[in-house]
Structure 1
Amino acid sequence: MSSKPAADNPKTLFSTQDIVLDSGYQGIDAASWKSLFKQAKEAHLEQFIADLFAGKPVNNSENRPAIHSALRNLDRTPVLVNGKDVMPDVAQVWHRIEALCNKWVGVTDVIHIGIGGSDFGPRLAIEALAHVPDIESRGMRMHFLANIDTAELNRILQRALPHSTKVIIVSKSFTTLETTMNARAVVKWLKNNGLTDSQVSKSLFAVTANVPAAEAFGIDQDHIYPFWDWVGGRYSVWSAVGLPIALQYGFDTFKKFLAGAQAMDQHFKSAPLEDNIPVIMALSLLYQQEKHNIKSYAVIPYADALDWFPKWLQQLDMESNGKSVDRDGKPVKFSCPVVFGSSGSNAQHSYFQLLHQGTEIIPIDFIAVREPMSHLPEAKEHHRILLSNCLAQAQALANGKKTDNPNNTYPGKRPSNLLILPKLNAFYLGALLALYENRTAALGALWNINSFDQPGVELGKVLAKPIEAALKNGGSVHADSGIDEVTAARINLFNQ
């Protein structure tokens, strides 16, 4: 039997920091990879990566850099913004976070109030690291309050102990409606439970880029932890937004989280395109768009600890790259597909029927961890079955199965990646998140999209104001410049 010459077999295994990417089921031949790398060079991807880390204004619509990588630059290599090194300010926040970790004694509950980028990252990290065997935990209960729906607020306030609760209010602008309203409700709850103004003041902390607004809210200057306008909300978990990670698991764990991200940054910054894992993943998705016109992709972590990862990734990808025009205001051919997913093997019993036999091709990133996530006697056996399911699903999707019965036929040729982490701890969690951040940025460069603004979220906020006023006033509402006929009729339904 003859075999293809080695030159026709593309490289499919890539690694950094013991993280392995296997792209063997992408179905991309060597000639196509050569074309993809040429496309990356024509898109000036290498220059974009250099500009990103150099603090150039890659966020062209707001004329800002996007140097969230500075927040995990533990080596403190100078990072210049308008000629000023930002690392002394970043390091000062690290010192303050470490000091706060050493001060808090007797705290039973922490209420972290924020939404979107102020919520997803720390919530994911707290949930994921809770499953790390033998991790040091300070025992306090960490509550995340994001939704304006009072059901979430009520659930937290029923559990928290007001006299031993601390509150962290997180908002880049400190004007986010959901966050400020929830913060006022929690302050009211503290006062209703007998805390004096002085005690309430000692309980409140803020993380924001708008320090004056936090002070105007009534938060002591010593309790305000800044971050900066060159940090996008969805990229901000590495800043003081990640304070719950340090408070819950200790500052050393937070540093390991940053270190994992920094290691991935160094790989993204220095590895050639042909060996660069975030770039390989970006080009793989671009190939599937160009070949199959895919509209969505799934990310399936075969680790229950990472069940929140797809939700975090949805914001990262779709808020960054869900655009219809490029950096020059011209229509784009491709932008971000819809992102969905949940932990395996639960996902197999949910939407995998569609993945295997649906009419659309939906690429998948499978994420697996070599080591089990518990010390239970059953852990190794369970983990072996978990991994076998992960590998089997990828094989079935790729190869399919032909039968005489169309109902039992699997078309196959469904592309996937396999990303293998040696273990799940703070270091590798940080590396995983940074990998996808860098992949998102690479995709933006390939599509010529600005991945660092989000103008699309603003229109609904503006339109909500007259609608809220109409709901508050009651009575019949007629269409006007801010409310169309359909919405006016719907308001009237609620006002009946």
Structure 2
Amino acid sequence: MNDPTTTTAWNELESLVQTVPSLSELFSKDTCRAQKFLIDFEEVCFDYSKQSIDTIIKGKLIELAESMGLKESINSLVTGGKVNVTENRQALHTALRLPRGRSLVVDGVDIAKKVHASLGEVETIVNRLTEGLWRGYSGQAIKDVVNIGVGGSDLGPLMACTALEEWNGQDSVEGKGLKYHDIETHFVSNMDGTQLEKLLNTLNPETTVFIISSKSFRTSDTLSNANTALSWLSEYFKDIDIIKKNHFIGISANSSAMNAWGVDPANQLKLWDWVGGRFSMWSAIGLTVALKLGMNNFRELLSGAHIMDEHFINTPFEDNIPVMMGLVGVWNSTFLNIHAHAVLPYDGRLSHFPNYLTQLEMESNGKSVNLSGAIVNFNTCPILWGEIGSNAQHAFYQLLHQGTQKVTSDFIAFINRYDESEECVNAQLQTQHKMSLANCLAQSRVLAFGNRAVSSKADTQVVESNPHKHYHGNQPSSTILINKLTPKTLGMLIAMYEHKVYVMASIWGVNPFDQWGVEVGKIVAKELNDAVLNNKINYDDSTNELLKRICGLG
């Protein structure tokens, strides 16, 4: 693989770091900057004019991408190349949203055909549940579905179901009003059982189905919750075989493990080894999303992601949203040494989006070894966190505006919300939405320009005369504006960030599709758990004392 630090573009970018003007200077020098550093595509507008780059830096970043063979890397990703080199497999999440009629042959197998067959199986289960045909052990129709998963098997579906709550039971083809049999969806991930214990107190065992979502079907977090759910159901009905057949669905790449646990073969949905967990929401792992939204809206979600895929594949780098997002991210983290990135959606429906991106980016690109196994000698993925913007303003914006840390930010907002209505409450909600948009745009201005963002001369003088009220500005940010939140536009937004991650990994030369750092903790935890269960205390003194207490020996 190429070493990015040996490229001419990399060296030239390093030399440009010390000469970057402030954001205020960049805007004063170029009155057309806001138009030059903005990309409009479909219903998405990506404004990166408040990033600390100019046309020269942008050009050098594109040269770096070309030097690192980004175009070839993108082609390898979407055509079935084994881009997950440490596990010798493909990463074909883009194939999961290919439209009907498309074909993708990899190693003699039409992947698209398999994908649509799996979607057909998902649709069958969705129809059985939403039409009231799936019955529990007592013959009653199912009313509640609990998704048991962790990581990508939880964060993606939870985020999408929360974001698109208002689309529950509506068919996008007809517009609205096509109601399904009411199915409430719930999510459980915590290993300690807190979520499940609280939830079981509210559920009727006769009308509840559990989805066990685990690619390996060996994840201890997930299986411990599944076993607890099984134990709970068996308190009400003693025939375990009927309970497993009527109340459990399995989604996994490991059929033998599902069989061993006892998931009925008719209730099994298959994954493939090329479906990475944090990229799996588009697969059968999205069953909960399809149940929540209806199958037509789930397909709209896939369609939106595919639209962004096509943009990513076919658009020149300078007009390519994911490419420019990724290149700006590399510039900030690696060259400007900004180690933190905040995700700030100004819409309560995206409450779980920052957590979703935290896993997507940090589990993917939190790497210090390149594809050749060599230690990288530069910064890779920054630390991500975030919150609904209006809440964050009253929490950590203090650090963004007046702290000593450099932080980059993504502001995300939807331009249109709430239908026109003469009803007072809707009019007031529209007013609130406009206030939210104003806050979103205002905060990015203050981060960029500091005190200069204040237009009132009197207010500016008060701020400048008091050091405690000084806003230094020059904090880089991007603003993502989307016309309206729909299944389609949410699909576009998620795919946009997926591809941003891949761009950054391609420049750094790391593998974004493995997560060996996650595995070591699982191994040690299993060793400790086995020691607890078998009363074998063979660890260092501090652990020894802890285990004695756990085992009741202290």
TM, length-normalised to structure 1: 0.94
Matched, 1:443 2:504: yes
1:487 to 1:314, Cα distance in 2 relative to 1, 3 A: same
Deviation at residue 211 of structure 1 after TM alignment: 1.1
Residues 320 and 373 (structure 1), Cα distance of their counterparts in 2 relative to 1, 3 Å cut: farther
Q: 1:25-424 maps to which residues of 2 (within 5 A)? A: 25-104=50-129, 105=132, 106-132=141-167, 135=170, 138-194=181-237, 196=239, 197-332=241-376, 333-372=378-417, 376-377=425-426, 378-401=428-451, 403-424=464-485
The separation in 1 between residues aligned to 2:37 and 2:344, in whole angstroms, is 20
Letter in 1 for 2:531: A
Tell me the CA shift for residue 416 of structure 1: 0.4
Conserved? CA contact 2:333–2:380, under 8 Å = no
Q: What is the Cα deviation at residue 77 of structure 1?
A: 2.1
Report the equivalent of 2:23: none
Structure 1 stretch displaced more, 284-293 or 322-331: 284-293
- Partner SS for 1:349: coil
After TM superposition, the structure 1 stretch with the greater mean CA deviation from structure 2, 124-133 or 436-445, is 124-133
8 Å CA contact 2:168–2:292 kept in 1: the answer is no
Whole-Å Cα distance in 2 between the matches of residues 299 and 397 of structure 1?
Answer: 14
- SS for the counterpart of 1:244 is helix
- Given the superposition, is the C-alpha separation of residues 298 and 6 from structure 1 closer, same or farther in structure 2, using an over 3 Å criterion? closer
Contact 2:304 2:491 in 1 (8 A): yes
- The structure-2 alpha-carbon separation of the partners of 1:233 and 1:193, relative to structure 1 and needing over 3 Å to count, comes to same
Residue range with higher mean Cα deviation, 432-441 or 188-197: 188-197
CA distance in 2, matches of 1:266, 1:487: 53
Q: Tell me the distance in 2 between the aligned counterparts of 1:127 and 1:66.
A: 26
Give me the whole-angstrom Cα distance separating, in 2, the residues matched to 1:137 and 1:398.
Answer: 47
- Residues 42-100 of structure 1 show CA distances to partners (whole Å, capped at 9, x for unaligned) of 11111100110010000111111101111110144222322211111111111112222
Q: Distance in 2 between matches of 1:95 and 1:132?
A: 21
What amino acid is the match of 2:440?
Answer: C
Q: What is the alpha-carbon distance in structure 2 between the residues aligned to residue 286 and residue 396 of structure 1?
A: 24
Contact 1:278–1:438 (CA under 8 A) maintained in structure 2: yes
**1:273-320: CA deviations, max 9, x gaps?**
111100111111111124430111001000100010011111111111
**Structure 1 counterpart SS, 2:49:** strand
- Percent identity for Structure 1 against Structure 2: 38
Unpaired runs of at least 5, structure 1: none
CA change 1:6–1:365 in 2 (3 A) is closer
Q: 1:361 to 1:103 in 2, by over 3 A?
A: same
Name 2:49's counterpart in structure 1: 24
Is 2:544 the partner of 1:488? yes
CA distance in 1, matches of 2:186, 2:168: 21
Q: 1:190 touches 1:200 (CA, 8 Å); kept in 2?
A: no
Report the residue type matching 2:50 in the other structure.
Answer: Y
- Is the 1:132–1:424 Cα contact (8 Å) retained in structure 2? no
For 2:24, the equivalent position in structure 1 comes to none
CA contact (8 A) 2:244 2:264 kept: no
Instruction: Say if 1:444 and 1:132 are closer, same or farther in 2 by CA, change over 3 A.
Output: same
Q: C-alpha distance in 2, partners of 1:146/1:170?
A: 10
State the alpha-carbon separation in 2 of the partners of residues 250 and 427 from structure 1: 14
Question: AA paired with 2:126?
Answer: C
Structure 1 pair 177/373, CA: closer, same or farther in 2 (3 Å)?
Answer: farther
Cα pair 2:43 2:489 within 8 Å, conserved: no
Matches within 5 A, 1:455-470: 455-470=516-531
CA offsets, 1:206-249, max 9 Å, x none? 11101121112111211111110011011000000000111122
Deviations 1:128-178 (A, max 9, x none): 111459945642221111111122111111111111111111110111111
C-alpha distance 158-231 of structure 1, shift in aligned 2 (>3 A): same
CA gap 1:173/1:9 in 2 versus in 1, 3 angstroms: closer
Query: Is the contact made by 1:138 and 1:249 (CA closer than 8 Å) also made in structure 2?
Result: no
Question: In 1, are the aligned partners of 2:86 and 2:514 still within 8 Å (CA)?
Answer: yes
User: Does the aligned pair in 1 maintain the 2:323–2:500 contact within 8 Å?
Assistant: yes
Q: TM-score, normalised by structure 2?
A: 0.85
Q: Work out whether residues 305 and 494 of structure 2, in 8 Å CA contact, stay in contact via their aligned partners in 1.
A: yes
The answer on whether the counterparts of 1:137 and 1:248 sit within 8 Å (CA) in structure 2 is no
Q: Out of 468, 492, 501, which is 1:431 matched to?
A: 492
Structure 2: any 5+ residue segments left out of the alignment? 1-27, 133-140, 171-178, 452-462
